Amino acid sequence: MMSLAAIATLICGGQVGSGSPPPTWAHPVREIMQTHCVSCHHTNGPAPFSLARYEDVAPRAAFVAEVTSQHIMPPWLPRPGEVELRDHRGLSPQELAALQAWAASGHLNGDDKTTARVPETKVQEVDLVLTMPEAWTVPAEGDVNWGRRDRDKWTFVLPILNEAPLRVQSIVHRCSAPRAVHAVTYLADDTGAALWNDQRDDIVGSYMTGDVRDHSSGQCGGTGVGSRVCRLPQGYHWLIPPHSDLVMEVHFRPTGRPHELRESVGLVFATDEESRPVRSLLSMVRRVDIPAGESQRVADEYVIPEDVEAIGALPRALGVCVSIRIAADIPGEGEVVLLDVPDYDPHWRLPYMFESPRYLPAGTIVRTTWQIENTEDNHRNPFLPVERLSMARRTGAVSSLLYVAAEGPESDTRLQEWQADAMRMRTH
């Protein structure tokens, strides 16, 4: 624990005089809550309590200092790496120190009655809204397997009925049960397979992954707790073929009471004529087989066949996987870590977009590693009591997607053909 004087030095950049005021709600605590916390911690938000008012935060001052200094809150999985990530959540050393000092010095108010404003949740203008045809209920607790095994997901199919291809720059998820819904991933299906599967019974949606054949859910991005908008950078879009359905894989965490779910998804179209389609390159290990109590590091690599811009990446794995790392070995340049998640938690999973697109020339080797711990000590292990873990899936027992854009239409076509061939090789 730092001494108060040391903390004060940090906050004031070393210029501590006897007159330097202790931190108060008026400054800077309210602003810190506003910038970093209330997006989730507001009434009806995904977090269990609000942190908008002084009366909410003061009784929790020590708890807030603790969870922030341990980097538990705000939740953000990737470790800072060589590639900067957009919409990064995190506190500066000064902000962390201010929260510590505020707790240690009696969480003063500073004569400020105002509350931290919830950031503009202004209804974003969308071009098309898709809504679940009927509601589905997230059970209060579910059956014995709920939240264990991997039975915490449900997949819904939202018909788009588009005659022409759509170029989608952002996906906006209007979540009807923010506390019960965590990671969501999207895929555009023009084969009808997902809808056929959904319509085999009378229940809306199905207990399946959102993968369709060899295509991995997440090919049109994803949203998660506190980040219900998935936005591609200007100049890029997801391409939705004519007559598609939007397939939405939704993961839950039951809260002890049932939640009625009627999700809607807004699509914002790209306006830039020159905008380029984003494709997903899949890294995966098709099958894992790990004895009870053991750990395994599994890896996959491929060589990118065309020059591309890498836009972002999405890790996909259950909680039995404790870390994921995606690195690019660039010809003539060496290894660049694209995404490093040392303490993976599927609850906070998001697609991570790069601050600026990263050029990867043809010949770049993309290497992904997953650390899987099939042990009792892995506190996120959904497979308890531990037994032999044997999982196989067409699109990978563990996987990740790298979002890339080719430099032109011919190159894009070759990239897609290469990806389809690679999938055929892997699944047959």
Angle at 147 between CA 143 and CA 149, to 5 degrees: 95
Q: Which of residues 82-101 bind ligand HEC (CB under 6 A)?
A: 89, 91
Q: How far is the CB of 428 from ligand HEC (least distance, A)?
A: 41
Can you tell me the distance from the alpha carbon of 310 to that of 326, in angstroms, rounded to the nearest whole number? 12
Can you tell me the distance from the alpha carbon of 417 to that of 423, in angstroms, rounded to the nearest whole number? 10
Residue type, 107: H
64 near ligand HEC, rule: CB under 6 A: yes
Stretch touching ligand HEC by CB under 6 A, among 35-43, 254-262, 318-326, 367-375: 35-43
Among 24, 39, 371, 374, binds ligand HEC (CB under 6 A): 39
315 near ligand HEC, rule: CB under 6 A: no
Q: How far is the CB of 89 from ligand HEC (least distance, A)?
A: 6
63 near ligand HEC, rule: CB under 6 A: yes
254 near ligand HEC, rule: CB under 6 A: no
Rounded to an integer, what is the distance from CA 387 to the centroid of its chain?
Answer: 29
Stretch touching ligand HEC by CB under 6 A, among 38-46, 155-163, 203-211, 316-324: 38-46
* Nearest C-alpha neighbor of 89 from the set 221, 225, 266: 225
Residue type, 274: E
* Nearest C-alpha neighbor of 226 from the set 39, 50, 90: 39
Stretch touching ligand HEC by CB under 6 A, among 37-45, 205-213, 378-386, 407-415: 37-45
Terminal CA-to-CA distance of the chain, rounded, Å? 57
Q: How far is the CB of 139 from ligand HEC (least distance, A)?
A: 18
Q: How far is the CB of 203 from ligand HEC (least distance, A)?
A: 27
Can you tell me the distance from the alpha carbon of 219 to that of 228, in angstroms, rounded to the nearest whole number? 16
Among 2, 58, 62, 67, binds ligand HEC (CB under 6 A): 67
Among 34, 50, 68, 223, binds ligand HEC (CB under 6 A): 68
Residue 124 burial (10 A CB sphere; 0-12, 13-18, 19+) = middle
Neighbour tally for 213: CB within 10 Å = 13
Among 130, 187, 204, 225, binds ligand HEC (CB under 6 A): 225
Mask of contacts with ligand HEC, 372-401, x by CB under 6 A? ------------------------------
* Nearest C-alpha neighbor of 270 from the set 240, 311, 226: 240
Q: Which is nearer to ligand HEC, 247 or 314 (CB)?
A: 314
- Which residue's CB comes closest to ligand HEC? 226
Can you tell me the distance from the alpha carbon of 410 to that of 198, in angstroms, rounded to the nearest whole number? 35
Can you tell me the distance from the alpha carbon of 161 to that of 378, in angstroms, rounded to the nearest whole number? 44
Q: Which is nearer to ligand HEC, 228 or 276 (CB)?
A: 228
Q: Which residue has the tokens 């095994």?
A: 149
Can you tell me the distance from the alpha carbon of 114 to that of 98, in angstroms, rounded to the nearest whole number? 19
285 near ligand HEC, rule: CB under 6 A: no
351 near ligand HEC, rule: CB under 6 A: no
Can you tell me the distance from the alpha carbon of 3 to that of 11, in angstroms, rounded to the nearest whole number? 13
Which residues sit at the interface with ligand HEC, rule CB under 6 A?
36-37, 39-41, 46-48, 51, 60, 63-64, 67-68, 73-75, 89, 91, 225-226
